[in-house]
Structure 1
Amino acid sequence: MTLRRIAILGAESSGKSTLARALAERYVTGWVPEYLREFVLTRERVPMSSDQYFIASMQAQREDAAAQDAQRWLFCDTTPLMTAVYSQHYFGGADVPLVVLVATRRYDLTIVTAPDSPWVADGLQRDSDEVRQQVHRLLLAELSARGTPYVLVSGELEQRVAQVADALAAL
């Protein structure tokens, strides 16, 4: 059976990790945690412009490694595209290697998590609800500009899981 990669995108504190983990449990398969979180924790700083390609490439490498063991679905808690969106927000654009990496990644379904839950501060990695809303709008504009269809999920976790289940059933 063909492995389907599911991109789960969204701004900070919008429930991507929680959703990816819950979907992996429901479908008894793998999920790829967001590498950015590890980067910030291990380096004890926020990324700079020069770190963006490295972060995105590590995300892609971990996704490819997880694909070896996943069953039918692989839930990706972010993708290099989200790194490019943050690069746009914080640094005014993405460098050429990051743009090329984003162009090479393919997903069978793109899920966007609505920023409708309470914003929670998380040390160095999170800014504010205002930034979260700005990044959400930037993400939707980027997906629209790319012609990438997506499913916007909202509500409590069980509602989001059900919305994704409906989208998966339609694939």
Structure 2
Amino acid sequence: MQFLPTELPGVFVIEPEPKADDRGLFARTYCRDEFAAHGLCTDWAQCNVSFNAKAGTLRGMHWQAAPHEEVKLVRCTSGAAHDVVADLRPGSPTYGKWVAVEITAENRRAVYIPGGFAHGFQALADGTELFYQMSAFYVPDAARGARWDDPALGITWPACAKRIIAPRDLSFPDLPI
């Protein structure tokens, strides 16, 4: 695997190194020793799937407040997604900054998201599914969110004919940046 750092310290794009032959390919997508060697989380409490029937579905920006912060390892198992991570760690020199990565079933990339970062994505194809490995259990009282179009973040989302967003995600307040 290749661990590619982003502009946000601690956020990585992880690319598998497939071994291909006439049958197809084989690639490692997680190795506890390799993650530990990079100082990354190796203890996953739960795994989740987000299936998105329609392109234009937008979910986010979500995180859990301390002491229930979650580390996430997110990959696309079907379709394609514009995946966004924003730094919301108080006192961080990159507070309020964000990065976007296209993750697809074809490119097999994963995004590693440390605690203290918000995460969201927009499905780029019908039938897009994301698989999440999570370091912490979901705690409803610790769930937080920022609006996808919060001017304080200024995230650039791909244009689409119709965006599908849950009422909860539309109701998040502006961040105090």
TM-score (norm 1): 0.28
More helix per residue: 1 or 2?
Answer: 1
More strand per residue: 1 or 2?
Answer: 2
- Which structure has the bigger radius of gyration? 2
- Select the structure with the greater relative contact order (CA < 8 A; seq sep ≥ 6): 1
